[in-house]
Homo-oligomer: A and B are copies of this chain.
């Protein structure tokens, strides 16, 4: 029972601009590992999950990418066998002006 639940991987659920919440974004970025991911994305541009050199299990990394995606911070685009991640800069800037820049600046150099 319940293989294949409805909100499954097939459709990679990204929130719309409007349904992003400030609390959700702040929470997503309050984790040092997730913050390091978005710093890297901001500095190097889009990258697949494997390119971050995260020192946690694959399943843990997958969890963190999901938190970022579901908060609206990143976009994940399937490309061949991998998922390309990118910052949702315009959406974030439009919904929460100045927030991403302030956080990136506060997070220091990569």
Stretch at the interface among A1-9, A21-29, A46-54: A21-29
The CB with the most chain B CB atoms within 10 A, among A26, A35, A97, is that of: A26
For A105, the chain B residues whose CB sits under 8 A away are 96-98
Task: Report how many residues on chain A are interfacial, defined by Cβ distance under 8 Å.
Answer: 21
For A23, the chain B residues whose CB sits under 8 A away are 30-32, 35
Q: A102, B106: Cβ atoms under 8 Å?
A: no
For A31, the chain B residues whose CB sits under 8 A away are 23
For A24, the chain B residues whose CB sits under 8 A away are 30
Give 13 new A-B contacts, CB below 8 A, not counting A22-B106, A99-B106, A102-B102.
A22-B35, A23-B30, A23-B32, A23-B35, A24-B30, A27-B27, A96-B105, A96-B106, A97-B105, A98-B102, A99-B99, A99-B102, A101-B102
